[in-house]
Amino acid sequence: MNYQELTPDEGSLLLQLRAGDITAFDEIFNRYAGPLHTYISMRLNGSEEADDVLQEVFIRLWNKRTAIIIHSSFRNYLYTIVQHCISDHIRASKRRKYILREEMPDQQEITPLPDEQYQYKQVYYIWRGAMDTLPGQMRRIYAMKIEEQRSVKEIAAELRLSEQTVKNQLHTAGQRIVKLLRQVQLFFL
């Protein structure tokens, strides 16, 4: 594998960044934001959300500045952060598509037909029923994540559980609810 050394300029910028120097951060942003934005836009198929992902990249860079360890080049390090941010963004987008809400959105360009509203409410009540079949703690964890939009870390801290336990409970809850919804879907076919 061909590792590139840090240029002296990059090395001093990183030392300044680790020390919390905002001008070093600005310089890094000015150097890399353009190419990173182009790459992110390409990966997200020209999505307008590239700005959000780029912002997240630099937020993570700033938040982890004291722990930066470069094994190859700073550019590779940044692109690794970009890959993680893109993956997180795609994963979050998929999750948002499947979050059910109690009520239909107030305004839509096309007003749903009464039958569609009825079907939506039926699916919602089936989902709520499936959620109610979960064991107590699993139901509480799932509700905190889905309804209260709490992070795994927040849930773990409040319930005094490990983050991995919370993740396992969420995964199992999701599997059970999807299984139940699939059974219901077969009924409606």
Say which residue the tokens 């139940």 belong to.
180
pLDDT in tens, 104-114: 455 555 565 66
Domains and CATH numbers, the chain: 8-97 (1.10.1740.10), 101-188 (1.10.10.10)
> Tell me, what's the pLDDT at 55?
93
Q: Are 27 and 13 in contact (CB under 8 A)?
A: yes
Contacts of 18 (CB under 8 A, 6+ apart): 65, 66, 68
Taking the CA of residue 77 as centre, how many other CA atoms within 13 Å lie in the half-sphere pointing to its CB? 20
Confidence label for 173 from pLDDT (cuts 50, 70 and 90): confident
Q: What is the CA radius of gyration of the chain?
A: 22
pLDDT tens digits for 48-84? 788 889 999 999 999 998 888 887 778 888 888 999 8
Going by pLDDT thresholds of 50, 70 and 90, the confidence category of residue 5 is: very low
The letter for the amino acid at 65 is R
Identify the residue whose tokens are 């360890």: 69
